[in-house]
Structure 1
Amino acid sequence: MKSVVNITRLGAAALAVAAFSISGHAFAADAVAAEKLARQEGCLRCHGIERGKDGPAYKEVAAKFRGKADAEARLLHHLSSGEKAKFPDGHEEEHKIPKTKDMDQIKNLVQWILSLT
């Protein structure tokens, strides 16, 4: 019985560590809330999670920024500034800015995107 409890504690500790650091990025504290926000804000009209649409897939974005110290800051800037997004056909459009002004929600979204593998 004692070994089962120890194994359970080790498993819980490992999950806790994994939840805070995946591929060098902080894991989204609430992946469900992040995906809900992406749907509400219309992000998933242009971005797929697994496959690109008009914009790159979120997994491609995560791969592009993996290991870069400024990844979160760059994505936060991209989402909040309305800077130009470049499309595969060469045209550019201003990236839509989320309507929510809650930076914690936007940070959670960015962390979720960066956690995708």
Structure 2
Amino acid sequence: MNTLFKRLLIACALSVAMFSATGAQAVDEEAARVLARESNCFKCHSISKKGDGPAWKEVAAKYKGKPDAEAKLTQHITSGEKVKFEDGHEEEHKVVKSKDPAQVKNLVDFILSR
């Protein structure tokens, strides 16, 4: 093998290893949208327009670069914690309709990727 080919092969192998080590996976957008619909998320949220709740683009911007973003958003959509609306009233946030950590993570990653 020539030297350039060897270097490319090593670079590709390192990239794959780094990608695997971080646990990074592509978001399954369709599965995230299905879970969001089943959980009635779109009643208050949309991808880009503010409704009763913030647009997911706003949520993604708020948490961008924050190391605890995934944990905070996961807690928010799975705990039923209180949320405050612009008119001042409070309600319990609806809990996502899945107990599968992989499905919840996919939805959170989808929201944060907007």
Alignment match, 2:59: 61
Q: Map 1:1-117 onto structure 2 (within 5 A).
A: 28-116=26-114
Q: Specify the structure having the higher radius of gyration (Cα).
A: 2
Alignment match, 1:10: none
Which has the larger displacement, 62-71 or 92-101? Answer: 92-101
Kindly, what percent of the aligned residue pairs are identical?
Answer: 60
1:99 to partner: Cα distance: 2.2
Q: Verify the 8 A CA contact 1:31 1:112 in the aligned structure 2.
A: yes
Letter of the 1:46 counterpart: C
Normalized against structure 2, the TM-score is what? 0.76
CA distance in 1, matches of 2:67, 2:42: 26
Letter of the 1:95 counterpart: H
CA distance in 1, matches of 2:25, 2:65: 14
1:27 to partner: Cα distance: 6.5
Q: When the two structures are aligned, how many residues end up with a matched partner?
A: 95
Q: 4+ residue stretches of structure 1 with deviation over 4 A?
A: none
CA distance in 1, matches of 2:78, 2:32: 16
Normalized against structure 1, the TM-score is what? 0.74
Cα deviation 1:13-67 (Å, max 9, x = unaligned):
8xx99xx7xxxxx565201110111011100011011101110001000001011
